Chains A and B, each alone.
Chain A
C-alpha cells in the first residue's frame, strides 16, 4: 500500500525544528542576498536617476525612497516579533523565540533609520528636525520598545527563561503598531497622512510610486536575508551555550568523584 505523506499543520511544524532550519536556510540564503542586492540596485537607479524631482520639494523628495521603506520595515519587523511571540506563548515552538530575538536588533536599526531620515527630510521641508506630533512620537516609542525588549532578553542568562516575559512584553507593545499606522488619521499631525495604502488608492504619481515600491521590496528582501542570518547565529549561540553548560557540569561531576 502506498504511504500518503502527512501534510497536516502539526506535521508541517516538525519541519521547522532548528536542525532542519539550518539546512534549509543555508540553501535559501544566497538567493535572498542575491535578490535583495539586485532589487535594491534597480530601485536605487529609479530613486536617484530615473524618477523625477517633485515640483514643490525638488531633489529632497528622493529621501522618500529610503525613509518610507525604513518606516514600513520598522513596523513589519515588530509584527514579525509579535507573531513569533504568539508562537512562543501558544505553541512553545523552539524557532519562534529565536525568530523574535533575531528580528529585534534589525527592527531597532530600521526604526532608527526611519527617525533619522525623517528628521533629515523634515528640516528642509517643515523647517524643524523634530516635532512631538503623534506619528513621530509613536515611532520613537516603537524604537524604545525595541531597546526595552533587547534589554529584557539580555537580563537573563538562560534564553529559555527569557522567552516568556519577552513574548508578553512584545505582544503588549504591539498595540503601538496600529497607533503608528492610524496616528495621522486620528490626530492632527505635521506628518502627512497615508499616501500609498489608502482605501481610495495611492495619491502618489506612478513615476514616484513605482520606484518607492521597488525600494520597499528591496528593503523587505534585505530584512529577510538579515533575519535568516541572525536566526542562524542565534541557533548557533544557543548550541554553544548548551555545550559549555554540559562541559562545565561534566567537569564539576568529575571533580566531585575525584575528591
Chain B
C-alpha cells in the first residue's frame, strides 16, 4: 500500500502555505516600512 500521491500532495500543500505565510509577513513588513518612510517617520527597532 503506497498512496505516494497523497503524501506528495500533503507535503506540497504544506510547503505552499508555509511559503505563502512567510511571503505575506515579508511583503507586508516592506509595505509598512515604505509607508512610514514616505510619511517621514523612521522605522523603529531595526529592520527584519
Contact = CB atoms under 8 A, between A and B. Distances in A.
Given A57-B1, A240-B36, A123 B6 contact: yes
A105 B46 CA distance: 24
A239 B35 CA distance: 10
Interface string B3-34: 11011011101100110111011101100110
B18 to A, nearest CB: 7
B48 A29 contact: yes
A74 to B, nearest CB: 12
A131 interface: no
A247 B25 contact: no
Secondary structure of the B side of the interface? Answer: helix
Nearest to A54: B1
Nearest to B45: A22
Contact of A26 (B13, B20, B45): B45
Contacts of B18: 222
B46 to A, nearest CB: 3
B6 A120 contact: yes
A58 interface: yes
A154 to B, nearest CB: 14
Contacts of A22: 44-46
A243 to B, nearest CB: 4
B10 A121 contact: yes
B10 to A, nearest CB: 5
B7 A237 contact: no
Given A60-B3, A105-B24, A232 B13 contact: no
A244 interface: yes
A63 B17 contact: no
Nearest to A57: B1
Contacts of B39: 240, 243-244, 247
A59 B2 contact: yes
Contacts of B11: 48, 62, 66
A222 B22 CA distance: 9
Contacts of B41: 239, 243
Q: Which 6 A-B pairs have the closest CB atoms?
A: A22-B45, A26-B46, A236-B32, A58-B1, A229-B25, A124-B3
Given A70-B14, A243-B36, A243-B41, 11 more contacts: A22-B44, A23-B46, A26-B46, A59-B2, A60-B6, A66-B11, A232-B48, A236-B36, A236-B43, A243-B39, A244-B39
